[in-house]
Amino acid sequence: MQNTYRGSDAYESHYRNFKHYYQREVQGHLKKYFPKAVSYNRFVELMPTILLPLCFFIAAQRKTPTGIYFVDSTVLRVCHHKRSHQNRVFKGLAKKCGSTMGWFYGFKLHLIVNDMGELMAFKLSQATTDDRVVFVKV
């Protein structure tokens, strides 16, 4: 089957949140690729049980050490920083921090890939963690 799906660029997304994305894209446009996709509420219930197996799966993938690596990090916003005191899901885990794109409340995702685009390592940290410290440990 030829992949004809042309997803929108993340920076051009018009979705307000993940729920809208899941309901419109996964349950709508991508239904032929995911015919047994669960409802959004069930998906949210299942997410905590999938995190650990997903981390093991990603770590177990065969990687080619090439000697050329690229490192980067990106912010994962939990909510607007002005509403951080209302957030109960990530209370005590997420942190408020400033970046070149402004203030945010959430986490940082750190990635290392080789020159073939293979994911070599990743780490999720609090927003206030210095990128240089994480990459030395990875």
Cβ atoms 122, 110 nearer than 8 A: yes
Q: Over 80: is that where the pLDDT of 99 sits?
A: no
Q: What is the pLDDT of residue 137?
A: 60
Please state, in angstroms and rounded to a whole number, the distance separating the CA atoms of residues 104 and 87.
13
Both 75 and 111 in one domain: the answer is yes
Cβ atoms 99, 66 nearer than 8 A: no
Please state, in angstroms and rounded to a whole number, the distance separating the CA atoms of residues 95 and 108.
10
Both 46 and 85 in one domain: the answer is no
For 85, the token pair is: 């005191």
Mean per-residue pLDDT for 46-52?
87
Range from 4-13, 14-23, 84-93 carrying the lowest mean pLDDT: 4-13
pTM to 2 decimals? 0.62
Residue 95: which domain range? 69-137
Both 39 and 86 in one domain: the answer is no
Is 3 within the bounds of a domain? Answer: no
Is 2 within the bounds of a domain? Answer: no
Q: Which residues contact 97 (CB under 8 A, 6 or more apart)?
A: 75, 103, 104, 105, 127, 128
Both 119 and 80 in one domain: the answer is yes
Q: How many domains does the chain have?
A: 2
Is 28 within the bounds of a domain? Answer: yes
Both 77 and 29 in one domain: the answer is no
